[in-house]
Amino acid sequence: DTQAIFQEVVDTGKPFFTYARPFEYPNQPEKGTTYWNWSLVPVKKGEEKLVSSLIFTLEDITEKIRAEKIIEQARELEEENTRKLKEAHFEVIQRQFAIDQHAIVGITDLDGNITYANSKFCDISKYSKEELIGSNHRIVNSGYHDKEFFRKMYETIQSGKTWYGEIRNKTKDGNFYWVASTIVPLKNNEGQIIQYISIRTDITKRVKAEEESRINESKFRTIFDQAPLGIGLLESRTGNFIQINPKYSEIIGYTQTEIETLNFQYITYPDDLQDDLKNMEKLISGEINFFNMEKRLIRKDKSIIWVNLTCVPLRMEGEELKYHIAILSDITDAKKASEQLKDYTQNLKMLNATKDKFFSIIAHDLRNPFYGILGLLDII
Residues of this chain that bind ligand FAD (CB under 6 A): 108, 111-112, 136-138, 140-141, 147, 150-151, 154, 158, 167, 169, 183, 196, 198
Q: What's the min distance (Å) between Cβ of 153 and ligand FAD?
A: 7
> For ligand FAD, which is the closer residue by CB, 199 or 283?
199
Which residues make beta-bridge pairs with 224?
A: none
Q: What's the min distance (Å) between Cβ of 142 and ligand FAD?
A: 7
The set of residues, in sequence order, having a beta carbon less than 8 Å from that of 256 and lying 6+ positions away, is: 243, 244, 249
How many Cα atoms are found within 13 Å in the side-chain-facing hemisphere of 246?
Answer: 8
Q: Which residue is nearest to ligand FAD (CB)?
A: 112
Q: What sign for the dihedral angle of Cα 253, 258, 264, 265?
A: negative
Burial class (CB in 10 A: 0-12, 13-18, 19+), 283: buried
Q: How far is CA 126 from CA 110, 173, 175, 211, in A?
A: 24, 7, 10, 24
Q: What's the min distance (Å) between Cβ of 219 and ligand FAD?
A: 31
Q: What's the min distance (Å) between Cβ of 156 and ligand FAD?
A: 10
> For ligand FAD, which is the closer residue by CB, 84 or 151?
151
> For ligand FAD, which is the closer residue by CB, 132 or 280?
132
> For ligand FAD, which is the closer residue by CB, 53 or 136?
136
> For ligand FAD, which is the closer residue by CB, 147 or 302?
147
Q: What sign for the dihedral angle of Cα 348, 353, 357, 362?
A: positive
User: Which stretch of DSSP H or E encloses residue 376?
Assistant: helix 369-379
> For ligand FAD, which is the closer residue by CB, 37 or 141?
141
> For ligand FAD, which is the closer residue by CB, 103 or 183?
183
The set of residues, in sequence order, having a beta carbon less than 8 Å from that of 20 and lying 6+ positions away, is: 35, 36, 37, 61, 65
Spatial distance between the Cα atoms of 8 and 181, rounded to a whole number of angstroms: 82
Q: What's the min distance (Å) between Cβ of 92 and ligand FAD?
A: 20
Q: How far is CA 366 from CA 79, 177, 284, 370, 373, in A?
A: 141, 97, 71, 10, 11
Nearest partner of 38 among 54, 18, 23, judged by Cα: 18
> For ligand FAD, which is the closer residue by CB, 39 or 201?
201
CA quadruple 177, 182, 185, 189: dihedral, nearest 10: -130
SS3 147: helix
Q: What's the min distance (Å) between Cβ of 116 and ligand FAD?
A: 11
Angle ∠(292,294,298) on CA atoms, nearest 5? 125
Q: What's the min distance (Å) between Cβ of 210 and ligand FAD?
A: 19
Which residues make beta-bridge pairs with 324?
A: 234, 313
Q: What's the min distance (Å) between Cβ of 179 and ligand FAD?
A: 6
Burial per residue of 34-53, b for 16 or more beta-carbon CB atoms within 10 angstroms, e otherwise: bbbebebebeeeeeeeebee
> For ligand FAD, which is the closer residue by CB, 23 or 150?
150
Q: What's the min distance (Å) between Cβ of 171 and ligand FAD?
A: 12
